[in-house]
Amino acid sequence: MKQIASEFNLELHFRVETDGNKVTRRYVDLIEHVGGWNGREVEFGKDLIGIERKEDFSNIVTALVGIGPERDDGTRLQVFVEDKDALARWGRNGKHLVDVYEPDSSDSNMTLEQLRSLTEAELAKRINSSVEYTGDVVDLEKVPGLEHEKFRLGDTIRIKDTAFTPPLYLEARIHTVERSIKQNGQKTVTLGDYIEYTEEDVFAIYKRLQAEIAKKVSLSKVMEVTYTKEEIDTKDTNVKIEAAQDATNKAQQAEESAKQYTETYAEKKIYRGLASPLNPVEGEFWLDENTNPPIWRKWDGQNWVKITRESFEDLKGVLKSHQIEDGAITAAKIALDAIRNEHIADFAITDVKIAAGAITEEKMKWQTHLIF
């Protein structure tokens, strides 16, 4: 039943029906859990006026006589269970405090071992006194700004009283609440389902929390300089993509560089023959053998341009000053009407290039402007 109650966050409520001095029915109700932990802490000197610890010894026993359910033949099993430590602590003149225990079961086939086990479990509950705490607590809920300090029936609260002997650290549930209907400000609460802590327990918890916090702080520092698996996987994927893209870019760059080098520095393919080459590439050469001697031609993208200079006419202004030996131009070298502007580069012919008396009137074509 406790497992079912825990699973559905319910509470067990026990009740019986009687007829005279005889119990006729027993009930266990599963009711909705009331209250919870809202962080309410009560401390002596702050809102705890006083606390009282009450021990109830009335139900203490040191031994139990377990009696099983009635069997088919009308007989009932019986066992005797005792606790030596409880006898030494609570016994009167060395004698047991004995009570009778009947398990809440109708199993007529219950064995002696089962009956003994149930009786021992019940005795373990009854060898100690029952403790109850009652405290007077200031109701801070009505104080402006302290509305969060409220508590209700069924809530779990924590109590700290270092003036208590020994110092009291308690986590308990509020079973009853008493308050004045005329005045607000104070409540008397009865606590149950409690857990008591010693100072050693509290400091041990404190040290453990410190260690956990330090561990998390250290972990956060490590996380600042490390990556999670998902981040590493993402970075690996990005690196692979970037590496592939970089390799592609470098391959394209190498191809472009090779092409540029070939076009700029590598020797062009040279054809020779009577027929011009098919599908020529700009910059390629053809040694045209249709004449003797053959003529060099170069493909400019549209035509095979003649690049062999066979006569002075072919120079067409490409003759530069440094190409003419000093005194090389004599009258015998100059044909009639040969000196024309388009044949000679600007400033190519200077006085040192022309032999004395080489240029006469008949050597010059006057209708062409000649620049010296």
At 63, the pLDDT band (50, 70, 90 cuts) reads very high
189 and 44 assigned to the same domain: yes
Residue 32 has φ and ψ, to the nearest 5°, of: -65, 135
Contacts 24+ apart (CB under 8 A), 320-324: 320/345, 320/348, 321/345, 321/347, 321/348, 321/349, 321/350, 321/353, 323/348, 324/348, 324/349, 324/353
289-334 per-position pLDDT tens digit: 888 888 888 888 889 888 876 665 565 555 566 666 766 666 666 6
Sheet holding 304-306, edge to edge: 270-273, 285-288, 295-299, 304-306
Give CA–CA dist 361/372, Å, rounded. Answer: 15
Residue 156 belongs to a domain: yes
Query: What's the chain's average pLDDT?
Result: 77
DSSP 144: T
Average pLDDT over residues 247-270: 69
324 and 294 assigned to the same domain: yes
Full residue range of the structural domain in which residue 67 is found: 39-197
117 and 238 assigned to the same domain: no
Residue 46 belongs to a domain: yes
* 79 pLDDT higher than 90: yes
184 and 283 assigned to the same domain: no
169 and 49 assigned to the same domain: yes
Q: What is the 3-state secondary structure (H, E, C) of 167-229?
A: CEEEEEEEEEEEECCCCCCEEEEEEEEEEEECHHHHHHHHHHHHHHHHHHHHHHHHHHHCCCH
Residue 209 belongs to a domain: no
The residue among 53 and 365 whose pLDDT is bigger is 53
Q: Which of 177, 197, 217 represents a domain boundary (last residue)?
A: 197
| Single pTM value for the model | 0.41
Residue 220 belongs to a domain: no
* 164 pLDDT higher than 80: no
Say how many domains are in the chain. Answer: 4
Beta-carbon contacts of 292 under 8 Å, excluding residues fewer than 6 positions away, are none
8 and 80 assigned to the same domain: no
Which residue, 31, 1, 244, 46, is CA-closest to 154?
31
Residue tagged 């341009």 (tokens): 305
280 upstream amide cis, omega within 30 of 0: no
- What are the structure tokens assigned to 313, written together? 């006419």
305 and 349 assigned to the same domain: yes
Residue 306 belongs to a domain: yes
* 278 pLDDT higher than 80: yes
What per-residue confidence (pLDDT) applies to 338?
57
Query: Quick check: helix, strand or coil at residue 230?
Result: helix
Average pLDDT over residues 7-22: 83
- For 6, other C-beta atoms within 10 Å of its C-beta total 11
At 85, the pLDDT band (50, 70, 90 cuts) reads confident
Which residue, 158, 162, 161, is CA-closest to 170?
158
232 and 304 assigned to the same domain: no
Strand 186-197 with 63-67, pairing = unpaired
Residue 320 belongs to a domain: yes
Give CA–CA dist 162/265, Å, rounded. Answer: 96
| CB contact at 8 A, 344 and 317 | yes
Minimum mean pLDDT range among 250-259, 321-330, 331-340, 346-355: 331-340
Residue 216 belongs to a domain: no
What per-residue confidence (pLDDT) applies to 372?
33
143 and 247 assigned to the same domain: no
What per-residue confidence (pLDDT) applies to 182?
75
294 and 176 assigned to the same domain: no
Q: Which of 266, 292, 322 represents a domain boundary (last residue)?
A: 266
Q: What percentage of the chain carries pLDDT values higher than 90?
A: 6
Q: Which of 197, 216, 241 represents a domain boundary (last residue)?
A: 197
14 and 43 assigned to the same domain: no
Average pLDDT over residues 63-90: 89
Residue 242 belongs to a domain: yes
Which residue, 316, 280, 312, 279, is CA-closest to 297?
280
183 and 288 assigned to the same domain: no
